Amino acid sequence: MKTHTPRSQLRRRHRRGQAMVEYSFINWILVLMLIVTFSVDFGSGDQKMNVIDAFLRAYQVYYDSFYFVLNLPFP
């Protein structure tokens, strides 16, 4: 039966933590690139927004439609 020393467990834990930091950093860079570089033109040329803002606006409309239906007066 092989026993692990606390030192080897710390090394393994450190590597796992490093992978999570790298994964989080790569995701942060990808989201930042998405926000900064992509913009969408909606109808008139005056209103341009990035993809994240467009998705948030679509979610707000979706949420508001549920709120509207729930507050309808039923006879």
Q: What is the pLDDT of residue 20?
A: 83
Contact 37, 54 (CB under 8 A): no
Q: What is the pLDDT of residue 37?
A: 76
Q: What is the pLDDT of residue 53?
A: 79
Reported confidence tier of residue 64, pLDDT bands at 50, 70, 90: very high
pLDDT at residue 47 above 90? Answer: no
Contact 34, 43 (CB under 8 A): no
Q: What is the pLDDT of residue 27?
A: 93
Q: Where are the domains of the chain?
A: 1-37, 38-75
Contact 49, 39 (CB under 8 A): yes
What pTM does this model have?
0.42
> What is the mean pLDDT of the segment spanning 4-22?
68
